A = this chain, B = another copy of it.
Amino acid sequence: MATEIPLVLAEEREWATAAALEKDVSSFDITTDVLIGGYGGAGVCAAIEVAEAGVDVLALERRETGGGTTITSGGQLYIGGGTQLQKDLGYEDSPEEMLKYLLALCGPNADEEKCQFYCDRSVGHYDWMVEHGVPFKTAFFPPSEGTIPVEDEGLCYTGCELGYPYREIAKPAPRGHTVARPGNNAGLILMTKLLEAAENAGVKVAYKAVIERVVLDEAGRVVGAIATIDGEQKAIRARRGVLLTTGGFIHDRGMVERFAPRILKCFPPLGESTEDGSGIRIGMGAGGAAIRMNESSIVMPFAPPRDLLRGIFVNRLGQRFIAEDLYQCQLGDAVVIHQGGVAYLLLDADIAATNSMGAQVCAEGTIEEIEKAVGIPEGGLANTLTQYNKFAEKGEDPLFQKHPNWIRPLDKGPYKLLDISTEKCAFPTFTLGGLWTKSTGEVMDIEGNVIEGLYAAGRTTSGFPAGGYNSGMAVADCTFFGRYAGRAAAEAAPLD
């Protein structure tokens, strides 16, 4: 066993990120071609690609089973461009329209190269999933019902495609592909199928095993890693590369404080507790650049019934601030980042006010009574409602272009106001920033130079949803770019 490995950078903590130098590693305990750290959605797809290319692969998973956050997810993949499922259900789509949508939604300054790379290959990703045993039922779940299929419908809208201005930027198409399953456990079905496929392909996995740091040779190439496997430190030589897929950093509050302080007030963290930034730190220790570390997906807890969309969101001044029919993550961003975490939903008596959001009714009565009850300056809510109703009579919303389906005057009292502030509601949140990678998963330094031998995918990286998010994008990004990172590593020239 390799012991007493000096580090490039002095550090004192138990859990390190600094790289070790090859010359300080007395001997390697294990040799493989591709070493993968983290066995969730990105890691397993990478492993399948490597194994299917006939190349030796070893995956290390910190827990006793694989699956990561993906196994606990809703099992939705944001896929499009004209998949068989879209065609079977009569929906037209193309890589061009999908790209227009992604560039508009995943900004500011969306990662054009990654979006293009993904749109061009998204249909192929669906086919790959099907070929690897992942089931999708040929049934559509209509947008009037929500963004999460109630039964096991395979296709639905999971974003802002029908919302403004997106419906004018790109031809809308449903792109949420949800795995068929009994009950609400599509993530479990998805990962069970992929873990099976990996096993069939001959992937080797060590559980209770974690990469501690990478090993660099004198030219700065990553040639392996120091890992702890079942309590023992091991030096592992990776002849073709090390691939980091350990997730994001939402569970490391120190990193959130340092890099994304605006989401400190959001609760709960969305993702497994293993998403503690370890892969990002290890990659940074090898010289990798971490980018867009302040970006996040903040989910407003706005669930079915969609009837509530007929209400209006207002801020602490009684002003509207967003089209109510945009996706939950755009709503979450608007409330937390732009409204200081304070927002309300105004409903009239005609809207079935089933309080399905888990939000509390904080005021009820006339508009004047509601203004007083929550401290909205006199006239603020009244003026907003007057203007809204005047246009709603004609089915119009010139402020935010909410879809006419959800527009109706709110004119029947008593009114109800739901408190959807961060202090009163859960806003599940996860991080979108991470290592800077090419579409091939190659990690880059701050100058854009590739760090040889180092790959990453999934939430360990800044992916195609770089600065904007819809449901299904994380699982799509992890699985897709995990695959391409696996391919690139498998094809890399091996060390002697």
Chain A interfacial positions (CB closer than 8 Å to B): 6-13, 16-18, 107-109, 216, 218-221, 254-255, 257-259, 261-262, 264, 281, 284-285, 287, 289, 291-294, 317, 319-320, 337-338, 377-380, 383-384, 386-387, 390-391, 398-399, 436, 445-449, 451-452, 467
Contact = CB atoms under 8 A, between A and B. Distances in A.
B7 A220 contact: yes
Given A10-B449, A378-B398, 16 more contacts: A6-B219, A8-B287, A9-B449, A9-B451, A10-B452, A258-B291, A259-B292, A285-B287, A293-B294, A377-B387, A377-B391, A377-B398, A378-B390, A379-B383, A379-B386, A383-B384
Given A264-B108, A287-B18, A383-B383, A11 B445 contact: yes
A336 B300 CA distance: 23
A7 B16 CA distance: 23
Nearest to A255: B446
Contact of A220 (B18, B264, B451): B18
Q: In terms of DSSP, what is the predominant structure of the interface of chain A?
A: loop
Contacts of A254: 448
Contacts of A6: 218-219
Among A287, A338, A380, residue most surrounded by chain B Cβ atoms (within 10 Å): A287
Contact of A449 (B11, B293, B377): B11
19 contacts: A8-B216, A8-B287, A10-B220, A10-B451, A11-B447, A16-B447, A107-B261, A109-B264, A258-B292, A259-B291, A261-B292, A285-B287, A285-B446, A293-B293, A293-B294, A294-B294, A378-B390, A378-B398, A383-B387
B284 A446 contact: yes
Contacts of A446: 17, 255, 281, 284-285
Contacts of A317: 319-320, 399
A320 B390 CA distance: 21
A320 B319 CA distance: 9
A266 to B, nearest CB: 12
Contacts of A337: 338
A381 B447 CA distance: 48
Q: Which of A12, A13, A383, A448 has the most CB of B within 10 A?
A: A383
Nearest to A264: B109
A380 B400 CA distance: 12
